[in-house]
Every structure is written in C-alpha cells, then in structure tokens.
Amino acid sequence: MSDFLLPNKPVLTNPLAQKLVSDFEKFRFEPLPQPLWSFVLERYGIDLRSTYADFPVSLLIGKASGQLSMELHQVRKDGQAGLGFCVLKTVIAQDAKGFQSMQAWSIPVTRMKVERIRGQDGTEGWTVTWVGRGWHKSFEAYLRFFDKAITIGSERSMLVVPSIKAHLPASVDEEWRIGEYEFTVGELLKVWRRHNPNLPMPLEFDFSPTLAGSDYARQRENILNWLIVVPKLVKQAAEKATGLSARESVRVGIKVFNALFEDDFQLTMLQTLLKEAAKGSGADFIVYANRLFDPNREYEGVKGIAYGGPDLSARNLLVLSQLTNMRWRGALPTWLPLSGTGNVCDGGIAFRYLLCGCSTLQIHTFFQLPLSCYAKRTGDKIERALHQLLFEPDNGLVAWLLWLKEKAKVETLTVSDLTQRDWSAILSAG
C-alpha cells in the first residue's frame, strides 16, 4: 500500500458529484449541519463516527494538543463545530513537592508564526513556527482547566483528553523520577473520575520533537527504553491512585515523535510499542507522529526548530504504510488503535491516514490558517476547516470515501470498515 494506488483526484459519477458540489456551496454561507455524522450518514451513506483509543467519538476528526487547546473558549468552539475530541495542551508533570524535571519545556510562547513551507517534492503547505513548549501556568490551573473542559465537552459529546510530559532519563542508567508520574497521573485521575467514575481516563504522553534535537534523542537505545517504560509507569501510577486495575483506570496513548534518525528507526519505535502491547504491559494506543525537527533552522534566536507541512505527512504516511503492509502480512505481534497527526490539510491526506489504519485524525496547523485559505465565509476557523476537509468536491474526505464506496460497491462505509481491512485488492482493481 506504500504508493496507495490512488488517482490524483477521486472521480465521482453524477448525480453524486453534483450533490457534493451543492453541499459545499451551500455550507460556504451557512453553519454546518449538526450533528455532522448524522447528516453525512443520511445523505451519503458514510459513517464518520469512530473510536479514539476505544472511546466512541462522534466525528473522527479532533484537535491535536497545542496552542489551540489552552483556553476554555477554544474548547467550547471545538464542541460547537462538532469535533469528536480535543486533546488539551501538554502539561509538564510534577511530583508532590512541585518539582518538574522537564521544567525547561514549561516556557510561555512568545509568538507563533503561521507560514508557507515547500515540501521536498515541491508541494506547497503551511507550518507553524514558535519557540514555546508545554503548559506554562500552574499545575493547579491545568487541573481546573481540565475539569471545566470535560464539562464543556460532555455538553457536546466531545471527548476531552489531557496530555502530559514527564521525566525521561538521559541515559538507560539514570533512575526514573516515578514521583512525577504518580502525582500528575493521580491528580488528573481525581478530576476525570469526578465526571466519569466508571470510565478509564484517556491520556496522551507527549515526546516532543524539541526533544529530537537534544542530545537525548541521539541515543536510540534510550528512546526505545522510554517507549517501554513510560506506559508501565503511567499504568502503575493509575493503579496506585485508584486502587483499580490499569485497564479500569487509564488508557495510555504514546505520541510518537519524528526522530532525527532514518525512517527505519520510526518503524522500530512503532514495533517496540506493539511488542510491549502484545505482552500486556505497553501503551493502549498510538498517536503518530509529532513534527519534524530541523537542528539548523533558527527562530527568535533559538537554533533548532520543529516544523510541519508536506514533508511531515509524507514521512508519516511512508512509515505508516510500511507498518500497514506488515500488518496485513501478519508480521506484527498485535495492532493498537492509531490516531494520525501531521499535515492533515485536505481529504486526500486524511484518506491516506485512514487507509493506514488511523481511526482518528488530529489537527493543529490546518485549524489556524489565514481566513482567506478557507472557502467557507462564515463561522470560526474550526468550522471552516471542517467544511473544506470534508466537503471539498475535488479532494475532500467525503469525495474520497464516496469514490471508495463506489469502487467497493457497498451501501454504507464506516471508519472501522476502512481501518480494519486491507483495501489494496479493491484499490488496484481497474
């Protein structure tokens, strides 16, 4: 599936093509129908509901952790627009005494710049450049934010997910600061369980790309060790805090980063996570994959900058398609729920992530482009982006899914059909 066997554009037969053009035009000036999944299911026989980890979500698209999930008004707008989930900004873990070994990541953002970037193959795209890192207010403020965000999310059936970064030893010999894991996971669980006493808490663990430029990231053995140990520590912390089993208390998602090594190492990271999961002690889901890192690029006096755009999705999709090939060949010990992130800015890219088994997609950059980049003339950027991503007649996700539906000759297409099955035979059939 590495070349995806896809045409440049999904060619649809009439009157389906006209229906899509008319919806796209109509919603340029009107609010999107809510709930979105129900509209798309009735009108096109496509079910856009999905699962994140194993939580049902009302739309497969959500917001990725970052500068757009730091304030309650942002979370509220995500719910109003109909996003399936929102991952909150990463908080830097601390122990019971307030000590943070990763404090260097807790600096306020000075300025964010949304700028054009050209991929290696000449494709034009967008990247966001900035020098900030994790949540920079207090941990108590994060807990209050998480609490209120859950309330807002539940009013709109939107899953709200916290994200953490905790101590990572600089070498395999250094001791882990388990207290950071215990305190942070325990406090987050108190908040979560007030709202959802019978549900495990989903949690993303962020291995930031900034890390990819530090000396730490030069050590492959060390990185693989992090991937093995972090899920165990989070689970132990959850068990200790709740007195329940790990399965009952938490779902740990590892947000894999793009290291400075070759693509094979990316695959090794994913295989390591799957191997550990097969043993029963690893992550519960994977988020793939955080931004690329250019150690030589400078911004505001800082050397070494994370970036996104076309090269990010190209690299992510290359690695994920290799993983998918291994999956269908039976060469993997198990499979985990996958959430795709990285330059999801049109339906073609979204469709490719789905074909690689991603059951949800997380967006940051495409939600913050200049208004002139979206065809929709009303609503906020989240709504405008969803309109484009879903309904764009030539390259929107609905167009791609309709194209596949026609090819596969099925009445209804669901996200789980898409991600649980090898489509190469159907895609390669003329």
Ligand X SMILES: Cc1cc2nc3c(=O)[nH]c(=O)nc-3n(C[C@H](O)[C@H](O)[C@H](O)COP(=O)(O)O)c2cc1C
Contact residues toward ligand X (CB under 6 A) are 64-67, 89-90, 112, 128, 130, 134, 163, 206, 255, 290-291, 308, 312, 341-344, 362-366
Q: In whole angstroms, how close is the CB of 230 to ligand X at the nearest point? A: 14
The C-alpha atoms of residue 133 and residue 234 are separated, in whole angstroms, by: 21
Signed CA dihedral, 210, 188, 340, 67: sign only = negative
Q: Which is nearer to ligand X, 255 or 405 (CB)?
A: 255
> Amino acid identity, residue 329?
R
Q: Which is nearer to ligand X, 314 or 402 (CB)?
A: 314
Q: In whole angstroms, how close is the CB of 410 to ligand X at the nearest point? A: 30
Q: In whole angstroms, how close is the CB of 87 to ligand X at the nearest point? A: 7
Q: Which is nearer to ligand X, 161 or 413 (CB)?
A: 161
Is residue 385 within 8 A of residue 363, CB to CB? The reply is yes
Q: Which is nearer to ligand X, 67 or 281 (CB)?
A: 67
Q: In whole angstroms, how close is the CB of 105 to ligand X at the nearest point? A: 9
Q: Which is nearer to ligand X, 23 or 253 (CB)?
A: 253
Residues 6 or more apart in contact with residue 174 via CB below 8 angstroms = none
Q: In whole angstroms, how close is the CB of 132 to ligand X at the nearest point? A: 7
Is residue 166 within 8 A of residue 180, CB to CB? The reply is yes
The C-alpha atoms of residue 134 and residue 136 are separated, in whole angstroms, by: 6
Q: In whole angstroms, how close is the CB of 358 to ligand X at the nearest point? A: 13
The C-alpha atoms of residue 368 and residue 60 are separated, in whole angstroms, by: 19
Question: Concatenated DSSP letters for 241-299?
Answer: HHSS-HHHHEEEEEEE---SS-HHHHHHHHHHHHHHHHHTSS-SEEEE---EEEEEEEE
Question: What is the token pair recorded at 233?
Answer: 């520590």
The C-alpha atoms of residue 396 and residue 347 are separated, in whole angstroms, by: 4
Q: In whole angstroms, how close is the CB of 166 to ligand X at the nearest point? A: 13
> Amino acid identity, residue 360?
T
Q: Which is nearer to ligand X, 208 or 242 (CB)?
A: 208
Residues 6 or more apart in contact with residue 349 via CB below 8 angstroms = 313, 317, 343
Q: Which is nearer to ligand X, 192 or 366 (CB)?
A: 366
